[in-house]
């Protein structure tokens, strides 16, 4: 739990948006055809479409968010699905209350 690194990751609107969108995947992303539901999150291509950024940038952003444990990644075949790590997000906000 490195608050500084998480704050760096969350110093960018697209990354904040992604985290927010993933709170309600069914409301923010199209239905997925290769998995039954959103229980493993949303595939990179849908997130990319929604941000309008390049594929490499979005992949990089998701990797950053994954590296600081804000997201959980699951691979199904050629797709990678990302979902929120609610525990870590909760711990982060809680740590802020104490550290700040």
Residues that bind its own copies (CB under 8 A): 3-4, 7-8, 10-13, 16, 19-20, 23, 89, 93, 96-97, 99-100
**Which is nearer to its own copies, 27 or 31 (by Cβ)?**
27
Q: Judge whether 5 and 65 are in contact, CB under 8 Å.
A: no
Distance CA 67, CA 5 (A): 10
Residue 72 interacts with which of DNA, its own copies, none, CB < 5 to 8 Å by class: none
Shortest reach from residue 97's CB to DNA, in Å: 22
Among left, alpha and beta (phi > 0; psi -120 to 50; other), residue 77 is left
């Amino acid at each position: 739990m490195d608050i500084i690194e998480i704050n760096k990751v969350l110093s960018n609107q697209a990354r904040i948006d992604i985290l927010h969108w993933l709170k309600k995947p069914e409301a923010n992303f199209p239905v997925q055809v290769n998995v039954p539901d959103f229980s493993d999150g949303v595939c990179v291509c849908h997130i990319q479409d929604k941000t309008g950024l390049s594929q490499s940038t979005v992949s990089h952003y998701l990797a950053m968010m994954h590296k600081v444990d804000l997201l959980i990644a699951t691979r199904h075949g050629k797709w990678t699905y990302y979902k929120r790590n609610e525990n870590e997000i909760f711990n982060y906000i809680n740590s802020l209350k104490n550290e700040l």
